[in-house]
Each structure stands twice: as C-alpha cells, then as structure tokens.
Amino acid sequence: MRKIKCVGILTSGGDAPGMNAAIRAVTRSAIASGLQVKAIYRGYEGLINNEIKEFTTENVSNIIQRGGTILKTARSTEFLTVEGRKRAYDNMVEQNIDALVVIGGNGSLAGARIFAEEYDVPCIGLPGTIDNDLNGTDSTIGYDTTLNTIMECVDKIRDTATSHERIFFVEVMGRDAGFLAQNSAIATGAEAAIIPEDSTNADQLEQFIGRGIRKSKNSSIVLVSESPKCGAMYYAERVRKEYPEYDVRVSILGHLQRGGSPSANDRILASRLGVGAVQALKEGQRNVMIGIRNDEVVYVPFSNAIKSNKPVKKELIDVLGILSI
C-alpha cells in the first residue's frame, strides 16, 4: 500500500453549517500527523479544473464559527463521466495527493465510491448534509443547526398564525427524508408533519384535518417536506378547495435553512469526524464514511452509508400524533 503523505480535502453538493469546522479539523489533524494538506475548491468540479491550493494551519484559523464552506461547493455533472473522473485523477497525481477527504451528502459520497473503485484512491467521506439522510451515523454535519433555524422561524410564524386564526403550511428542506420536518414539528409544537416516509395510502391532509383543527384549534401549523409534486403549496390549495372555511397561508423557508453560524453540536460533531477521517487514513482505512453512533466514532463503508433511505423512527411520528391533540 502506498504511504500517504498528502491529503486532499473538498466540500461537495449542498453546503451545510459545520463544513468549515470539518475542514479545520481535517487540516489541523493531518498537519499534526506530519501530512501535507491540499485544499480543493468547488468540489469535484475544482478537482477536474485543478483549483487546488496547499493549506497550512493558518488557512483554517477563525473559520469554525462561520456557516457555508470556505472551499466553496458545486454540483459537478462532468464528474459523472469517465472522462471527467480521469481528469480529476490526473490532477491528483500532478498535485501529489495520495488520499481524498470528501465532505458532502449522498451524491458526493456516491461519487467518491466510484472514483475510489476506478483509480484505487483511498477516499474518506464525512457526512455533510442538513437532511440527516445518510445511514450509519446518528447525525450529519449541519442537521442540528438547520433544525434550530427552522425552530426559530416557526416560533415566529406561530405568533401570527395564532393572532389571525390561520393554518400555516411551512415547507422545509428534505425532499427524500423527513427528519427536518418531523423533528422541527415536535420541537415547535406543530400540529402535524407531512413527510415522505409517512406517505402511505392514507391521506395525510385528511388525517390532520380530522384529528386536529376540526376539534378544538383555531390555528395550526403543519411542517411539510419539500416536494416538486406535493409540497406546501399543494396542500394549501387542497385546503382552499376542500375546506374553504379555513384561512390558509404558506411559508417556504428555502435557503435560509442552510445559512447561519453552526451550533455547538455541529461544531463538535464536525471536529470529531474531521479528526476521525485522518485517523482512519493512518489506520489504512479506505472508502468509508466517518460517522457517530451512540457517541462513538465509527467507520461505515460507502456502500452502507448510501445504500438506502435512512428511516424516520415511527416513535417520532407517534410522539407528534399524541402531543398534537
């Protein structure tokens, strides 16, 4: 096995609060272990275009509290091609990068897995996504901060919903995973959450109307996971048509969910995972995601981390149902 002397680091896909803390942790941990660090800007696109710079410990000073990612990020269609990955590998060889640390979500880690298989490059993934939808880790970098951001927004919406006796449909991110909607609904005392995992044959809107507002409530808040077909606007239109007696409003939180200074939990998580990534490389690990399970750092094979949708616990759905009476 080739001895690792230089580690490349990149952030890919959607940004998440805490990515900078992870960049800082990987950089300083690698340098402390006698390794060189090369920062790759704009994700896989930057690797293809050779946007690479050597990092020292000073490059990551005063970034732990900043949202977003100082390395920038991008979604690369070229990296999906054989030719694009060949260019990326050639640049790694030219820059003497022996291993790659990829901070990102499902698509980013899937890309790292293919790249590692094609070119026998040791790749380590860090779960950087606000959706919390990667298997093998209890939480992903950015999830806690985003949950708190949503909670603060919904608390404010609650004030106006109560004043005007309205139903508010609040749309949050998480197209394929309902963790943000479900847990922010519990945290804010919302009346319901409409999430992809609960999309059985039962009509979630009918369940909500029947259980909640018809009985005793003159204002309600429903958290809805974003969806191109049945997001918050879809459900609001249905209420206007099917239950015209209710005053309905929609609030789509959008990209403000991605911003903001990372929470203490996300800074600590990112720091532990970043150090864990370098430790994994020193141990000869490859093609694994670093996760946290039961407060312990674990190594999760890429194939397990991205293999299927991570389920929302039914217990959480039950808790919301009980508390929304």
Residues serving a catalytic function are 131
Could you count the other beta carbons within 10 Å of the beta carbon of residue 158? Answer: 18
Distances (CA, A) of 120 to 99, 112, 169: 10, 11, 48
For residue 263, what is the DSSP state? P
Could you count the other beta carbons within 10 Å of the beta carbon of residue 266? Answer: 29
Whole-angstrom Cα distance, residue 204 to residue 210? 10
Whole-angstrom Cα distance, residue 279 to residue 272? 10
CB 191 within 8 A of CB 212: yes
HEC letters along 17-63:
CCHHHHHHHHHHHHHHCCCEEEEECCHHHHHHCCCEEEECHHHHCCC
Tabulate helix, strand, coil % of the chain (nearest 5).
45, 20, 35
Distances (CA, A) of 257 to 3, 67, 254, 270: 41, 11, 6, 18
- DSSP letter string, 286-304: -SEEEEEETTEEEEEEHHH
